[in-house]
Amino acid sequence: MNSKLQNITILGATGSIGTSTLNVLRLHLDKYKIYAVSGKSQITKLFDICKEFNPIFAVVLDITSQEKLQNLITNYNAENNNSNEKITTKILFGNDALCQIAMDKNVDVVMAALVGAAGLQPTLAAAEVGKKILLANKEVLVMAGELFMQTVRKHKAILLPVDSEHNAIFQSLPKGFKCGFDDLENIDNNKIENGIKQILLTASGGPFLHKDIHDLQNVSVEQACNHPNWKMGKKVSIDSATMMNKCLEIIEAFWLFGINDLLKNDDSYEQILAKITNYIKVIIHPQSVVHSGVQYVDGSVIMQLSQPNMQVPISYCLSYPNRFASDIDFLDFFKYNNLQFIQPNTQKFPCIKLAYEALAIRNFAGNILNAANEISINYFINKQIKFTEIYTINSQVLNYYKQNANILNQQFTNNTSDDNLQNLESILNADKWARSKAEEFIQILN
């Protein structure tokens, strides 16, 4: 193996972010070796990836998928007498195997592109051994922001945000900002004043930006997944349509950029709400050309612009701190003579507010909100609840937690002390509780 090459593991290689990552990597195979990949249901696509890149490992969900992929490879090798073209990839399966390819000592970089809670353990495992982590899987931070960022710090992992808005904010922050090590007030650990006033988080507004509020309850899954600017996986597309995506992204920004350091232990619910609402400003920008940024105290605003294509932020993460080509069209300024910036309508898209509420409730609130959202989305996909009921369920579960936080925290932590509140076990307990609570509320709804 060429020692100059960086070995990369792509968790979720068959997905939308995984595919964009491979598109960029194809241009830079002089710098990267695709060391390990994973997929869940798209076994043929995973086979094609193995055929093209011959990674050392491929991980699937279960033994049936392992056999299926192994058969495809065995047949392919039998038909190919040229030993240079044989696939030598070892097929593993299950959650432990995902953690294994995230932690492997030969791996330099981990692209965390699983979706939802499934990504928590492997991404945390990568942080535990101090990997360079390119984080697309925002739910990891929503579920376990505190634990994950502590782990990043403790093991000196390098964390780079892939999510386009957070990548844009990262690019707009003072040079040298390190996720997990700096906060927005005191960059560089040397407590240098940097003059940041607030971060500006843009949102496309999704496919229903201009839809009448009364028509929202009858929209279909297909309509919800039909995003005007971005081609993404199903879950994030639906999150975009409800604007739950922006809710998750507010929480993601809170942890990535050390905004938690602005809060004091004795801040009240209302004080936290006020601080975070001031610090993270959501702006609807339907064209998705301006991808978030930072407002400074002197009135300067620095934002990042590009085509709405995830290959741009992925390239930035892969080449950081340098830059290399992402193989997308450059921005044609003269095509965009009407860039808009609009105040979000939280009556029509109430999910945005849940972020501020969850952050103000603290403890397991983000985790609980994420779990409720994963359940309500699944019921919506299966046509068992209406689009607008995603918010109803998410807010009911969050409110129930708010009302019963003391007793539930004890339950999640098995009555251990507060110091130990956020560990993997308590996080998984809270996640499980919230999923069953969401199902309970859905039964009542029906």
Q: Which is nearer to ligand NDP, 316 or 400 (CB)?
A: 316
CA pair distance 251, 273, nearest whole angstrom: 12
Closest CA to 60 of 48, 46, 73, 74: 46
CA pair distance 47, 74, nearest whole angstrom: 11
* 243 contacts ligand NDP (rule: CB under 6 A): no
* 163 contacts Mg ion (rule: CB under 5 A): yes
Segment near Mg ion (CB under 5 A); pick from 162-170, 184-192, 259-267, 375-383: 162-170
CA pair distance 111, 136, nearest whole angstrom: 8
> 3-class DSSP state for residue 209?
coil
DSSP annotation string for 223-290 = HHH--SS----HHHHHHHHHTHHHHHHHHHHHHHTTGGGG--TT--HHHHHHHHHHHEEEEE-TT--E
* 182 binds, options Mg ion, ligand NDP, none, Cβ within 5 to 8 A by partner type: none
In the set 33, 53, 104, 139, which binds ligand NDP (CB under 6 A)?
139
Q: Which is nearer to Mg ion, 209 or 421 (CB)?
A: 209
CA pair distance 80, 74, nearest whole angstrom: 10
DSSP annotation string for 328-344 = -PPP-GGG-S----B--
In the set 12, 55, 207, 258, which binds ligand NDP (CB under 6 A)?
12
In the set 9, 16, 66, 167, which binds ligand NDP (CB under 6 A)?
16
Closest CA to 327 of 25, 109, 32: 25
> 3-class DSSP state for residue 44?
helix
Per-residue contact flags (x/-) with ligand NDP for residues 94 to 123, judged by CB under 6 A: -------------------xxx--x-----
* 41 contacts ligand NDP (rule: CB under 6 A): yes
DSSP annotation string for 14-34 = TSHHHHHHHHHHGGGTTTEEE
Per-residue contact flags (x/-) with ligand NDP for residues 307 to 326, judged by CB under 6 A: ---x----------------
Give me the least distance between CB of 66 and ligand NDP, in Å please. 13
What b/e string do you get for 13-41 counting C-beta neighbours within 10 Å, with b at 16 or more? bbbbbbbbbbbbbebbeeebbbbbbbbbe
Give me the least distance between CB of 332 and ligand NDP, in Å please. 21
Segment near ligand NDP (CB under 6 A); pick from 26-34, 132-140, 290-298, 370-378: 132-140
Give me the least distance between CB of 48 and ligand NDP, in Å please. 12
Q: Which is nearer to ligand NDP, 136 or 158 (CB)?
A: 136
Residue closest to Mg ion, measured at CB: 163
* 18 contacts ligand NDP (rule: CB under 6 A): yes
Name, in order, each residue with C-beta under 8 angstroms of 281's C-beta and a sequence gap of 6 or more: 198, 199, 200, 201, 295
* 18 binds, options Mg ion, ligand NDP, none, Cβ within 5 to 8 A by partner type: ligand NDP
Q: Which is nearer to ligand NDP, 250 or 408 (CB)?
A: 250
Residues near Mg ion, by CB under 5 A: 163-165
Residues near ligand NDP, by CB under 6 A: 12-18, 39-42, 61, 113-115, 118, 136-139, 163-164, 230, 232-236, 310
